[in-house]
Amino acid sequence: MNNTLKANIIEANIIEANKIKANKISEIFADQKAFIAFLTAGDPSLDKTEEFILAMDAAGADLIEIGIPFSDPIAEGPVIEAANERALSASTTTDAIFDMVARVRAQTAIPLVFLTYMNPVFVYGVERFFSACQKNGINGIIIPDLPFEEKGEILSVAQAHDVDVITLIAPTSQDRIQMLARDATGFIYLVSSLGVTGVRSEIKTDLAAIVSDIRAVTQTPIAVGFGIATPEQATTIAKLADGVIVGSAIVRIIAEHGAASTPILIDYVRKMKAALV
């Protein structure tokens, strides 16, 4: 480890000490099924994002995925794509998102994970980005357009700053599953269905088979996302995985109710969490 990197880490730890220490991602799966909630930062404003995160935390969410909006979110369906457009129209920037995360981290220990695309991270500067993640209390990152083969772009820097790079496994991963799972840290994001994000009435993938392939090579917890919206779906998924990820259904509530979403989000998260038995 070079000296600049060391100095950065020491500095980060000093700042960290002034905040609430974030819980580790793995802890949320220790004795329960985890409910993971996604929202897009800056939709409809960063102040509201802060309020929504704290509200969902209080309502029982175990981890919050915070989307850094991107102009061209190619893995997203229309609901989250529109949220990205709203956030960018509201002039949401990566710097302002880090500030918002710092305010959240001053109030809660809940693990926070970014979801964004490779370009916003790369152009911000990989070292600068992950250093800011550590300083502000981000635990992990999900980058849909960064496959296993290209992880070298960020992995060592993210690890040096104690940020888990979350592994995505898809229904089409097949012979790649064990290669992907072997290196996974934090949790494994198991994509339930083909296609982009969005609410689905039915999930047809044979998740049990994929889960069993993963379990054969790793203890890393598995959370399932893409298409899950109802408590019934959550109950079914929780029977075979360690956690459930909900994005579009939450973003749809925010799209519909805007600044007044808080009570609806609280009610929704409570119901979903209660379904994970």
Partner 1 sequence: MSKGKYGIHGGQYTPETLMNAIIEVEKAYEHYKNDPAFQAELTELLNDYAGRPSRLYFAKKMTADLGGAKIYLKREDLNHTGSHKINNVLGQALLAKKMGKTRLIAETGAGQHGVATATAAALMGFECEIFMGKEDTDRQALNVFRMRLLGAKVHVVTSGTMTLKDAVNETFREWTTRVDDTHYVLGSVMGPHPFPEMVRDFQSVISKEAREQILKKEGKLPSAVIACVGGGSNAIGAFYNFIPDEEVRLIGCEAAGKGVDTALHAATIANGSLGIFHGMKSYFCQDEYGQIAPVYSISAGLDYPGIGPEHAHLHDTKRAEYVPITDDEAVAAFEYLSRTEGIIPAIESAHAIAYAMVLAPTMRKDEIIIVNVSGRGDKDVAAIARYKGENIYE
Binding-site ranges for partner 1 (CB under 8 A)? 70-72, 74-75, 77-78, 81, 85, 88, 93-95, 117-124, 144-150, 152-153, 168-176, 180, 191, 194-196
Between CA 243 and CA 28 the distance in angstroms is 9
Closer to partner 1 by Cβ: residue 33 or 86: 86
Query: Quick one: DSSP state of residue 168?
Result: E
Beta bridge partners of 37: 64, 246
DSSP 215-242: HTT----EEEESS--SHHHHHHHHHHSS
Closest CA to 208 of 187, 230, 226, 224: 224
Please, what is the minimum distance in Å from the beta carbon of residue 17 to partner 1? Answer: 29
Smallest gap, in angstroms, from Cβ of residue 9 to partner 1? 25
Tokens standing for 183? 């290196």
State the nearest-atom distance from the C-beta of 224 to partner 1, in Å. 14
Q: How far is the CB of 207 from partner 1 (least distance, A)?
A: 15
- 206/232 with CB nearer partner 1: 206
Nearer to partner 1, 129 or 268 (CB): 129
Answer for the pair 4, 124: CB distance below 8 angstroms, yes or no: no
- Which of 181, 269 has the CB closer to partner 1? 181
Shortest distance (Å) from residue 25 CB to partner 1:
19
Which residue's CB is nearer to partner 1, number 108 or number 218? 218
Both ends of the chain: CA-CA distance in Å? 44
